[in-house]
Chains A and B, each alone.
Chain A
Amino acid sequence: MKIEMKKITKSFGANQVLKGVNFTVESGEVHALMGENGAGKSTLMNILTGLYPANSGEILVDGQPTTYAGPMEAEQHGISFIHQEMNNFLEMPVVDNMFLNKELRNKFGLMDSKTMHDQAVHYLSQLGAKFDVDQPIGNLSVGRQQMVEIAKSLMTDAKIIIMDEPTAALTEAEIAQLFSVVRRLKADGVGFIYISHRMEEIFEIADKVTVMRDGLSITEYATKQVTMKQLVKDMVGREIDDFYPDRTPNFGPVAMEVKHLTEKGVFSDVSFSVRQGEILGFSGLMGAGRTEIMRAIFGIDKYQSGEILLDGQPVKIRDPQDAIRHNLGFLTENRKDEGLILDDSLHDNIVLPSIDGFVKHGLVDEKATDDFVRMLMKRLTVKAMGPEVTAGSLSGGNQQKVVLAKWIGSGSKVLILDEPTRGVDVGAKREIYDLMNELTDRNVAIVMISSDLPEILGMSDRIAVVYEGRITGILDGKTATQESIMTLATGGVEEHAGAI
Chain B
Amino acid sequence: MQAQSKTKAANKLDVRKIFSRLGPLLALVVLVILVTIMSPTFVSPANLLNLLRQVSINAVIAFGMTFVILTGGIDLSVGSILALSGAVTASMLTSGFAAPLALAVGLILGAIFGLFNGILIAYGKAAPFIATLATMTIFRGATYVFTNGNPITGAKMNNSFLFQFMGRGYLFGIPFPIIIMIVVYGILFVLLHKTAFGRKTYALGGNETAARIAGVRTKVVTMLIYTISGLMAAIAGIILTSRLSSAQPDAGTTYEMDAIAAVVLGGTSLAGGKGRIFGTLIGALIIGTLNNGMNLLGISSFYQQIVKGIVILIAVLLDRRSSNNG
Contact = CB atoms under 8 A, between A and B. Distances in A.
Contacts of A363: 190, 194-195
A319 B217 contact: yes
B216 interface: yes
A224 B211 CA distance: 52
B216 A321 contact: yes
A352 B216 contact: yes
Nearest to A322: B215
Contacts of B198: 364
Contacts of A323: 215
A54 to B, nearest CB: 28
Interface stretch (A203-211, A262-270, A354-362): A354-362
Nearest to B190: A363
A393 B12 CA distance: 12
Contacts of A358: 196
B233 to A, nearest CB: 24
B196 A338 contact: no
A344 B199 CA distance: 10
B185 interface: no
Contacts of B217: 319, 321
Nearest to B272: A343
B13 interface: yes
B43 interface: no
Interface in A398-422: 406, 410
B20 to A, nearest CB: 12
B175 interface: no
A320 B199 CA distance: 17
Interface in A305-364: 319-321, 323-325, 330, 332, 337-344, 348, 351-353, 355-356, 358-359, 362-364
B213 A364 contact: no
A420 B196 CA distance: 28
Interface string B198-222: 1110110011011111111100000
Contacts of B230: none
B199 A352 contact: yes
A300 B199 CA distance: 21
Contact of B203 (A319, A320, A341, A364): A341
B194 to A, nearest CB: 5
A330 B10 CA distance: 29
A348 B205 CA distance: 13
A348 B190 CA distance: 16
Contacts of B190: 363
Residue in B198, B210, B214 whose Cβ sees the most chain A Cβ within 10 Å:
B214
Contact of A338 (B195, B209, B215, B274): B209
Interface residues of A, number: 36
B150 interface: no
A328 to B, nearest CB: 10
Given A321-B216, A321-B217, A352-B215, A341 B195 contact: no
B41 interface: no
B194 A352 contact: no
B10 A364 contact: no
Nearest to A363: B194
A222 interface: no
B273 interface: yes
A390 interface: yes
Contact of B202 (A319, A337, A348): A348
Contacts of A406: 214
B213 A337 contact: no
A352 B13 contact: no
Contacts of B209: 337-338
A89 B207 CA distance: 26
A364 B201 CA distance: 14
Contacts of B274: 343
Contacts of A364: 194-196, 198-199
A58 B202 CA distance: 51
B203 A344 contact: yes
B10 A385 contact: yes
Nearest to A356: B196
A339 B211 CA distance: 8
A467 interface: no
Interface in A238-282: none
B295 to A, nearest CB: 39
B9 interface: yes
Contacts of B39: none
B7 interface: yes
A410 B216 CA distance: 13
A132 to B, nearest CB: 30
Contacts of B216: 321, 352
Nearest to B196: A355
A389 interface: yes
A298 interface: yes
A355 B199 contact: yes
B210 A348 contact: no
A65 to B, nearest CB: 39
Nearest to A323: B215
Given A321-B216, A348-B199, A364-B194, 6 more contacts: A319-B212, A324-B214, A337-B207, A343-B273, A352-B214, A385-B6
